[in-house]
């Protein structure tokens, strides 16, 4: 099983600032990685797939990068609706998720 490890567990950021979230795979997943946003009481929403391709309707302030075992999700300028939990997910071998990073208001 490929284990996905996200850091940090919690990120405190002020509105308008940049947020950088990390995801590491226990073995290479190539670019077979997605990012999801989850708000309380809601299902996850796909943000990024293929490590760097934004899903339909996702604002340009969300960007993804990386390949192999190291990946980054960057939110360039946080807006109020971006405070949520973010999960990475690999699909190179079955489907596994990271444990999440909570982005909270500083």
Partner 1 sequence: QLQLQESGPGLVKPSETLSLTCTVSGGSISSNSFYWGWIRQPPGKGLEWIGSMYYSGSTYYNPSLKSRVTISVDTSKNQFSLKLSSVTAADTAVYYCARHSSAFFDYWGQGTLVTVSS
Which residues contact partner 1 (rule: CB under 8 A)?
1, 32, 34, 36, 42-46, 49-50, 55, 87, 89, 91, 94-100
Q: Which is nearer to partner 1, 36 or 83 (CB)?
A: 36
Q: Which is nearer to partner 1, 14 or 37 (CB)?
A: 37
Q: Which is nearer to partner 1, 16 or 57 (CB)?
A: 57
**Whole-number minimum distance, CB 91 to partner 1, in Å?**
5
Contact 5, 100 (CB under 8 A): no
Token digits of residue 106: 């500083």
**Whole-number minimum distance, CB 87 to partner 1, in Å?**
6
Token digits of residue 89: 């997910």
Token digits of residue 3: 């284990």
Q: What is the CA radius of gyration of the chain?
A: 13
Asked if omega into 15 is within 30° of 0 (cis), the reply is no
């Amino acid at each position: 099983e490929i284990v996905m490890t996200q850091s940090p567990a919690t990120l405190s950021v002020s509105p308008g600032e940049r947020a950088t979230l990390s995801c590491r795979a226990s073995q290479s997943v190539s670019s077979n990685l997605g990012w999801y946003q989850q708000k309380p009481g809601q299902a996850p929403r796909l943000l990024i797939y293929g490590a760097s391709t934004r899903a339909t309707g996702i604002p340009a302030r969300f960007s993804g990068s990386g390949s192999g075992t190291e990946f980054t999700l960057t939110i360039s300028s946080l807006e109020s609706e971006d405070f949520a939990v973010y999960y990475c997910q690999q699909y190179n071998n079955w489907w596994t998720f990271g444990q999440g990073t909570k982005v909270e208001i500083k």
